Structure 1
Amino acid sequence: MEDQAVCCYRHPDRETGISCTRCDRPICPECMISASVGFQCPECVSGGHAAGATAASGMAGTSGRSYRTAARPRTIAGGAISDDPRLITKILLAINVAVWIAVLAVGDRLLNDLVLVGAFPPEPFAREGVAEGEWYRLVTAMFLHEQPMHIAFNMLSLWWLGPPLEAALGRARFLALYLLSGLGGSALTYLLADQTQASLGASGAIFGLLGATAVLMRRLNYDMRPVIALLALNLLFTFTWSNIAWQAHIGGLIAGTLVAYGMVHAPRDRRDLVQAVTCAVVLLGIVVMIGVRTLELTR
C-alpha cells in the first residue's frame, strides 16, 4: 500500500513520522516525551496507556487491521521509524569520544596524522597533507578534538540536535546529513583557509544539524524564533572568537541546510529520487571544491 501522510493526533495540522512506542499513535516533536526506548505520548506517560491503546485500536475500523498495518507510517522524510531514534547519534558521539581518548593516549603524532591540513610546511613535519593525496584527512578531522571544552561543546550540541533529527529523518538519512555536513565544512576549509592551517572538530557537522533543524521546524510550521536566535548566536561566536575555522562552520551550515531541504520537501511520489539527487549534488559540490584547491596547490 502507498505510504500515507500521518499527522499528530493532538495537532492534526502537523505532519509527523514519529509514533508513541506504547500506543502507536503519531506524535509531533512537541508532544513526544523521551522514554527508555523511543518516545511516548503525554497520555501514556501520565498513565493513560489503556485509553490510548483503545483509541489506537479504534483507528483500525471494521477491517480489524492495526493502525500501523493500515497506514504504514514513515518519518516525514520517508525513513523507517525505529525503536531507538538515538542510535546513530550515540554511535557518532562514541566515535568522537573514542578518537579524543586515542589522541590523549598517543599524543601529537596521531593528531598530526589525522588533522585537516592542505599541505604541511617542509620542516619539521615531513608529512603530506590533502593536496599530496591524503584525502582521508577531510573525514578524520570531523571526528578529531584536542581541547576538553571543544569536544564537550560539540558533543552536547550533537546530543541535543541529533535525536529529534534522527527521529524525523530516519537513520540512513540522518547519517547522510551528518557526514555531508562535516565534509562540506572540511571542503570549504580546505578551499579557503591557508594551506598550512590545521583544522579539526565536528563543528561543521554540528552547524549542518543546526541548519537542518531550522529547515525541519519551518517545514512543520513551528516557531522559528528559538532556532534563529541560536543560529545567530553561534554565527556571532564564529566570527568574533579567535582560533575558530569559520569556513568549517559556514560550509557545514550550507551543506546541512541544502541536504535537509531536499529531504523534507521532496515530493512524495519521487521522494527517494529527489533525496538521492540532492545528496549527490551536494557531494559533487564538495568534490569540485576539493579538486579546485588541489589543482591550485599542486600546479
Structure 2
Amino acid sequence: MPNVNDIHASAAGRLLIGGDLPVQRMGFGAMRLPSRTWDGPPHDPVNARAVLRRAVELGVDHIDTAAFYFYKDLAANDFIREALHPYPEDLVIATKVGPDRDRDHNWLTPADPAKLKADVHRNLRRLGRDRLDLVYLRFHADEGPGNGRFEALAELREEGLIRHLGVSNATPEQLAEAQSVAPVTAVQNKFSPVDRGADAVAMVELCARQGIAFVPFYPLGGTGAPHIEGLRRVAERHGATAAQVGLAWSLSVSPAVLAIPGTSSLDHLEENIAAAALRLDAADLAELSGT
C-alpha cells in the first residue's frame, strides 16, 4: 500500500456520469459526518469539516449526501457548504430525495411530487448551489416512480436545476419505469462483500451494459469492515486492512462502480482513499468469491 504522501483518489481511475460528468471512481459518502448512527452520538463539527477538506485534498471530486443526513442541529449539507464553498469547479455533489425525517428523527412517509421538488430546493439552499449535479430518487420497498414522482424531478432537470438523475434502492423494474420518464445515469443500491446476491450482481451488470454508474451504499456492509475470513487473508497478503480489500473488491467487480465510503475519521478517510491503489489479482478475487 502507498504511504500517506502518495494517497490519491485518482489511483482508482475515472468514470463519466451520463457521458459528460467526469468523477474519480473513489468518492466520499457524507452520511456519517453528523453522527455515528441515525440516533447519535453526535460527531465533532470541526472534525467533520476537516474530513471533507482532506478528502478534496486527496483528490475526491464526488461527494454523496442527502438533506436527511442530520442529527439534531448537525447536518451533512451544512458541513459540506461550510468546509468547501466556494466549491472547486470539478466537485460533483450528489444527493437523494424521497425519504425524510422530522426534527425528532422519526422517518416520514415517502415524499409526493410537490415535496420532492421542495426537497430539491432545500438541498440547493443548504449546499449553496444553483444546480445539483446528480439527484437520486430513493425508493422504499416495491413503490414505483409513478404518481408523478420521477416526473417531478425530470421537470426540475428540464428547468436546469438538476444536471443528472438517478435512482436508489431500486429494482430493475423500477429502473426501467424511471427510464421511461427521463434518462437515468446512476443507480445507488446496497452492494458489498457481504451483500452480493444474484439480484445485486445482476443490477451491477445491467448498469454496466447500459453505461449507468453503479454506486454501492454500505460498501462495507454498513457496520465497518466485515468479518470475512477471506478478506482477512487477502488483506494480510497485501499489507492492507480488511476494509481496504473490501473497497478494492467493489471497484474490481465492474468499471461501472463508483465507491463512496464514508467516515468521520481522518485516519479512516486516508485508509479508504489508499484503497484506490490496491489491485487484487485473480487469486485474490477467487478467494473473496469463495471459489
Q: Which has the larger radius of gyration?
A: 1
**TM-score, structure 1 as length reference:** 0.26
Larger relative CO (CA 8 A, sep 6+): 1 or 2? 2
The structure carrying a bigger strand percent of its residues is: 2
